[in-house]
Copies of this chain bind each other. A is one copy, B any other.
């Protein structure tokens, strides 16, 4: 009777619509933030009705959480696809550049720095937390490698480096540079990377790819 075929076909269409909803949510979260984003907004932006939206995600929290999970998965993918000959520092630079470009293209900040309730919401999701931990451990490994190879300051605790690194992905300086500084996107990425890795003080030379 082709039941399996029919179901999988429906499922495919369903999944496509689901991705469209996630895309719409990403745009809305980036532009209005979680609190000001309404489910009517999302439904309108995705081109479906609110009741249909609830067929996909059973609450606003779940919807936002899934968006963040997809973002973490994308980051994980990016890391996995990096050229293996890159030095640890180059990998970190590369990932941060990717995250900043995602944001500049209307994507989301990576980290739920925004508000306490959003952070609480995410930490309630096991699926989110397990992915965050996995990514964290991966980056921890890279940072420690970079320290051993003399690319990062060895006397700076790894978690200090990592938390600062994460914070750069949601750094408000990005928006200020775009809105008030009127820099093109690539300049913004370049400057953010330089400030992140080299700081503001004078008297420094970039060590780039000295593997």
- Chain A residues within CB distance 8 Å of chain B: 31-33, 35-36, 89, 111, 113-117, 147, 150-154, 156-157, 159-161, 163-167, 170-173, 176-177, 180-181, 191-192, 194-207
Complex CA–CA separation, A204 to B194 (angstroms): 14
Instruction: Find out whether the CB atom of A31 lies under 8 angstroms from the CB atom of B116.
Output: yes
Between A and B, 29 residue pairs with Cβ closer than 8 Å are A33-B115, A35-B115, A35-B117, A36-B115, A36-B117, A115-B115, A150-B203, A152-B201, A152-B202, A153-B200, A153-B204, A156-B191, A156-B194, A156-B195, A159-B177, A160-B177, A163-B177, A166-B172, A166-B173, A167-B171, A167-B172, A170-B172, A195-B199, A196-B200, A197-B199, A197-B201, A198-B201, A198-B204, A204-B204
Assembly of this chain: how many copies?
A: 2
Q: Determine if A164 and B160 form an interchain contact, defined as CB atoms under 8 angstroms apart.
A: no
Residues A33 and B160 in contact, CB atoms below 8 Å apart: no
B114, A115: Cβ atoms closer than 8 Å:
yes
Which residue of chain B has the shortest Cβ distance to A180 in the bound complex? Answer: B159
Query: Closest 3 interchain pairs by CB?
Result: A199-B199, A113-B172, A163-B176
A171-B181 CB under 8 A given contacts A203-B205, A207-B202: no
Q: Give Cα distance in the complex from A33 to B152, angstroms.
A: 35
Min Cβ gap A109→B in Å is 10
Closest CB in chain B relative to A103 CB, distance in Å:
13
Whole-angstrom distance between the Cβ of A2 and the nearest chain B Cβ: 49
Q: Which residues of B contact A167 (CB under 8 A)?
A: 171-173, 176
> Which residue of the partner chain B has the closest CB to A207?
B203
Q: Take A198-B199, A207-B202 as given contacts and tell me if A36 and B156 are in contact as well, using a CB distance cutoff of 8 Å.
A: no
User: Is B36 in contact with A200, judged by CB distance below 8 angstroms?
Assistant: no
Q: Which of B113, B114, B156, B206 contacts A200 (CB 8 A)?
A: B156
Do B150 and A111 have beta carbons less than 8 Å apart?
no
